[in-house]
Chain A
Amino acid sequence: MQLAAVNTAWLAAGFLRAEAFSSWTSLTPVTVHAELGKFFPPLKLVCRLHQSLDASAPLLLVNQHQAESGVAGHSPRIVDIAVRLPDINRQETHGNLSPEVRELLVAKTKDILEKELGYRAVQTTVAAGPAFWYPYSGKTSGNAVFCRLTITRGSADQSI
Chain B
Amino acid sequence: MRKLTKQNLEDIIIGCSYFGAGGGGSFNEGLHLVYEDLDAGLTFNLMSPDEMKDDEYAAATYGVGSTAPPTPEEVKRYADLPRIKEEPTAAAFRALEKYMGKKFVATIAGEIGPGNTPAAMSVAAHLGIPQLDGDTVGRATPEIDQNTVLAAGYTITPAAGVTKYGDEMILAKIARTSREEDFFRAASMISMGIGVSDTAISGKMAKTPGVIVQGSISNAERIGKVYRMAVETHADPIRAVMEAGKGYWLFEGTIADFHWKDKGGYLFGDLEIAGTGKYQGSRYKIAYQNENIIAWCDGKVSVTPPDLIVPVVAATAKAIANPDFEKGQAVTVLGFPAPAPWRTPGGLKLFGPEHFGYDTPYIPIEERFASARK
What would be 21 A-B contacts, judged by CB atoms less than 8 Å apart? Answer: A39-B27, A39-B28, A39-B318, A40-B313, A40-B317, A42-B316, A43-B231, A43-B237, A43-B316, A50-B234, A65-B329, A66-B328, A94-B35, A95-B6, A95-B31, A96-B39, A129-B31, A131-B28, A131-B35, A135-B10, A136-B232
A43 touching B315 in the complex, CB below 8 Å, given contacts A130-B35, A136-B232: yes
Contact with B along A10-53 (1 / 0, CB 8 A): 00000000000000000000000000000111111011001000
Main secondary structure of the interface of A (DSSP, over half): loop
B32 contacts the other chain (Cβ, under 8 Å)?
A: yes
Give the chain B neighbours of A66 by CB distance below 8 A: 328
List chain A positions with a Cβ less than 8 A from chain B: 39-44, 46-47, 50, 63, 65-66, 94-96, 129-131, 135-136, 138
For residue B7, CB closer than 8 A to chain A, the reply is: yes
Give the number of residue pairs across the A-B interface with Cβ within 8 Å: 53
Q: Which of A44, A94, A129 contacts B6 (CB 8 A)?
A: A94
Within 8 A of A (CB), among B226-279: 228, 231-232, 234, 237
B258 to chain A, nearest CB (A): 16
A66 to chain B, nearest CB (A): 8
How many chain-B residues does the 8 Å CB contact rule pick out? Answer: 24
Proximity string of chain B (8-41) to chain A, C-beta cutoff 8 Å, 1 when within and 0 when not: 0010000000000000000110011001101100
CB distance A43 to B35 under 8 Å? Answer: no
Which of A43, A50, A130 contacts B28 (CB under 8 A)?
Answer: A130
Complex contact B316–A135 (CB within 8 A):
no
Cβ-based interface call for B330 (8 A): yes
Contact between B38 and A135 (Cβ–Cβ < 8 Å)? no
B31 touches A94 (CB 8 A): no
Smallest CB separation, B240 vs chain A (Å): 12
Q: Which of A43, A65, A96 has the most CB atoms of chain B within a 10 A radius of its CB?
A: A43
7 extra A-B contacts, CB within 8 A, seeds A39-B318, A136-B228: A39-B28, A40-B316, A46-B231, A94-B35, A94-B39, A130-B28, A130-B32
Complexed CA–CA distance, A43 and B227 (Å): 12
Residues of A within 8 A of B35 (CB): 94-96, 130-131
Neighbouring B residues of A40 by C-beta, 8 Å: 313, 316-318
**A138, B229: Cα distance in complex, Å:** 12
- Known pairs A136-B228, A136-B231; A131 contacts B10 (CB<8 A): yes
Q: Which residues of A contact B330 (CB under 8 A)?
A: 65
Contacts of B315 in A (CB 8 A): 42-44, 63
